[in-house]
């Protein structure tokens, strides 16, 4: 390996994917999947995001499925993208996790090379381009549909962006949910959402939304008290990304169960 120094006309700038594609790094998913059983591919399901008083909240269940089988019980679908943003994934798990990894590095890389972080708008557009770049595989059944949310340091508000498989980027006013249980989760958030939710209220709303989604959708995992597997919940405020500890979620789950026995 030698020091990656380029001539001015070949310089990839602050773009990490442009840098690695020079070395043919991103060649792993270029085969044709026709005739390949889609049942073998792991899928991730329900994720949601909502605005809160201080920023945004993002949450996701932990189940990964291969057709009708449960493939993994503790998958992470909500990730920190950079200091002030979070990304959640639904769809084919393998390519989705790879996309998150490249996206995280892409944002850090830009910030380090340029000396300033991308704007939230810039980060959202960048993710749209990555989803669009994945379209050929999405057409073969490996769709990746992320959710992106973060704290906009310029406008001083939390903002949420949803995507479709073509890379279309849609800014959501208050909340969004995607994945196979997304509809159910969205309905719950829609009923409970109000302006200026405190973190604790938003966490409870997210937990009940995921609970309802798990109730209706076989591919969404519920809260697994026996194995102590809780959803992943994170908040992003002007102070940055913070994942909510399992202990807090456990306590809230107990509280909610006592409030609304079913």
Q: Which residues are at the interface with other proteins (CB under 8 A)?
A: 1-5, 16, 19-20, 23, 25, 101-102, 105, 108-109, 112-113, 115
| Residue of 17, 45, 52, 253 with catalytic role | 45
Question: Interhelix angle for 93-114 vs 120-133, to 10°?
Answer: 140
Q: How far apart (Å, rounded) are the C-alpha atoms in residues 34 and 118? A: 38
Q: How far apart (Å, rounded) are the C-alpha atoms in residues 249 and 230? A: 7
Integer-rounded Cα Rg, in Å, for the chain is 19
CB of 79 to other proteins, least distance (A): 12
Active site residue 178: no
CB of 223 to other proteins, least distance (A): 26
Strand partners, 241: 236
**Dihedral of the alpha carbons of 87, 144, 95, 17, in degrees to the nearest 10:** -70
Q: How far apart (Å, rounded) are the C-alpha atoms in residues 9 and 16? A: 17
Strand partners, 47: 60, 178
CB of 21 to other proteins, least distance (A): 11
Q: Of 86, 47, 25, which is closest to residue 189 (Cα–Cα)?
A: 47
Q: Of 252, 250, 194, 244, which is closest to residue 58 (Cα–Cα)?
A: 244
Give the nearer residue to other proteins in terms of CB position, either 106 or 220. Answer: 106
CB of 106 to other proteins, least distance (A): 9
Angle formed at CA 27 by CA 25 and CA 29, multiple of 5 degrees: 135
CB of 55 to other proteins, least distance (A): 18
Contact 213, 35 (CB under 8 A): no
Query: Which are the catalytic amino acids?
Result: 45
């Amino acid at each position: 390996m030698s020091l990656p120094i380029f001539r001015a006309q070949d310089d990839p700038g602050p773009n990490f994917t442009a840098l690695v594609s020079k070395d043919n790094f991103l060649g792993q998913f270029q085969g044709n999947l026709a005739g390949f059983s889609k049942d073998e591919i792991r899928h991730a399901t329900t994720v949601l995001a909502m605005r809160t008083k201080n920023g945004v909240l993002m949450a996701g269940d932990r189940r990964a499925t291969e057709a009708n089988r449960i493939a993994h019980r503790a998958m992470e679908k909500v990730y920190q993208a950079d200091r002030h943003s979070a990304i959640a994934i639904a769809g084919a798990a393998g390519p989705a996790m790879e996309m998150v990894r490249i996206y995280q590095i892409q944002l850090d890389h830009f910030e380090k090379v340029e000396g300033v972080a991308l704007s939230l708008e810039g980060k959202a557009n960048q993710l749209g381009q990555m989803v669009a770049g994945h379209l050929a595989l999405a057409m073969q059944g490996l769709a990746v549909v992320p959710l992106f949310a973060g704290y906009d340091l310029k406008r001083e508000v939390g903002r949420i962006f949803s995507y479709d498989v073509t890379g279309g980027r849609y800014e959501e006013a208050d909340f969004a949910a995607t994945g196979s249980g997304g509809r159910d989760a969205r309905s719950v958030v829609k009923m409970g959402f109000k302006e200026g939710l405190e973190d604790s209220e938003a966490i409870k709303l997210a937990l009940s939304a995921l609970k309802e989604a798990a109730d209706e959708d076989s591919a969404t995992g519920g809260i697994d008290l026996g194995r102590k597997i809780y959803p992943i919940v994170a908040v992003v405020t002007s102070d940055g990304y913070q994942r909510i500890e399992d202990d807090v979620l456990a306590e809230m789950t107990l509280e909610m169960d006592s409030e609304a026995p079913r």
